[in-house]
Structure 1
């Protein structure tokens, strides 16, 4: 009977595991192999060059600028996005005025607010990037027009053309586009927390801030930790690539001020025909992602709370 059970389980697992190995594991292995070659990406002819690509990478100032920007993304974006999303979710679910017969409640119209916050997720990231590119336009953009309307016409930043501002402008777009997803995610988690916990805490004299740090955050921690890793992967991967590629000139911004590792991989692979070197940069990006995910899981490890 046991042997029949194992055959049944293996029969269900073998096909998805085979697909995973072919379409996920094997491309990773290929990328690592190509990072030790001088492959152009266009010709089947290439040779193994050992660690040449990695030595070149260590002496490449553009790589280090891109690496630094990616690290800023992965350290700043998840923290800011999750903090804003947690605050908004808490207000939507617990921060409203007391209703008749209930000690805690969300703000009025919370369902409508959730739709508004989630709206950027409906839009393609390419559309979002184009909209903000027009918004940041120094000549006809809404931001400089607003500054002019309130009497700050002398303050007309170049925004995406300023090496000191461009990176933060791009990051602001990613924050705006991702907060809504986590608001809905955290709201779903908070809705499952029994209201009795909050009512008991408030009867004991706890403030709203205390209930957040003592009740909401501990019981929602697993969701927050998963969102932290997910947001970090997004900030290192396709989202940062798409926004930077579309919004900034170069691409990579003025003086490479917005270049990130994912975009630098694209530039070397498809613009310069240096696929071998691009895969070496991709391996570095993979290591950064793994270190970030392992660090978050390690720092956030705590005893699981249940209710």
Structure 2
């Protein structure tokens, strides 16, 4: 009976594991292999060059600038996005004033606010980037138009200023992703028994205390998973698409918004250096794995059950 059970389980696992190996694991192995060649991506002829691409990468100033921007994205975007999402979700679920029918509840209109916060998730990141590209336009954009209406004479060129362009892109990424985590954290908070909050209120606890003593500890596993997910978005496709569409070049003035995924794309498709692009991709893979490992290690704590 046991033998038949394991054969049944293996039969279900073979197909998905085979697909995962072919479409996920094998491309990683190919990328690592091509990083040791001089492949251009346009010809089937290439030779092994050893660690020459890696040596070139370590001496590449644009790579290090892209590396700094990607690390900044991975550190700041999850911090800002998750902090805002936690605050909004807390106010929508347990941060409202006391009412006669319930001691704990969200602010008035919480259902509408959840829909409003989640609305950017309905839009493609390409559409969001285009909308904000128009909003940031120094001559006809909505942002400078609002500043002009308030009498501000010195209106910045948001995406044309090397000191502002990267922060403008980060603001768009926060706006487009915070709603997803508001809904995610709201679902987690809804599962926390209201008795915990009512007992805390009876003891005279403030909103600040109930958040850090009840909500955050019981929601920590969700926050940790969200941190890893947001970091992967910041290091991957979301950052690439936003920078590619919004900034001039793309990559901004003086490579001020170039991130590692964009640099991989530029080298592979614009520069005809597919092998060097895969080398940068391998570096990006290592950075992403290290980020996830560090977050999981630093965020490890005893699991709380209720």
TM-score for the superposition, normalised by structure 2: 0.99
- Counterpart of 2:253? 254
In structure 2, the residue matched to 1:192 is 191
Runs of 4+ in 1 over 6 A off after TM superposition: none
Query: 2:182 & 2:154 partners in 1: Cα distance?
Result: 34
Return the offset for 1:2.
1.2
Instruction: Report the CA distance between 1:170 and its aligned residue.
Output: 0.3
Counting only pairs closer than 5 Å after superposition, residues 99-114 of structure 1 correspond to structure 2 as 99-114=99-114
- Pairing of 1:200-219 with structure 2 (within 5 A): 200-219=199-218
Q: Output the CA distance in 2 between the equivalents of 1:38 and 1:90.
A: 53
Deviation for aligned residue 1:101:
3.2
1 CA distance for matches of 2:179 and 2:6?
Answer: 43
Deviation for aligned residue 1:274: 0.3
Instruction: Give the aligned partner of residue 125 of structure 1.
Output: 125
Q: CA deviation at 1:145?
A: 1.0
Structure 1 partner of 2:77: 77
1:1-307 to 2 correspondences below 5 Å: 1-152=1-152, 154-307=153-306
Q: Partners of 2:19 and 2:236 in 1: how far apart?
A: 23
CA distance in 1, matches of 2:76, 2:293: 17
Distance 2:292 2:271 in 1: 31
Offset from partner CA, 1:208-245 (integer Å, 9 cap, x none) = 00000000000000000000000000000000000000
Aligned positions, number: 306
Partner secondary structure for residue 161 of structure 1: coil
Q: Secondary structure at the match of 2:159?
A: helix
Distance in 2 separating the partners of 1:5 and 1:104: 48
CA distance in structure 2 between the aligned counterparts of 1:21 and 1:127, rounded to whole angstroms: 33
**Which sections of structure 2, spanning at least 5 residues, go unmatched?**
none
Q: 1:151, CA displacement in angstroms?
A: 1.3
TM-score scaled by length of structure 1 = 0.99
1:181 positional shift:
0.2
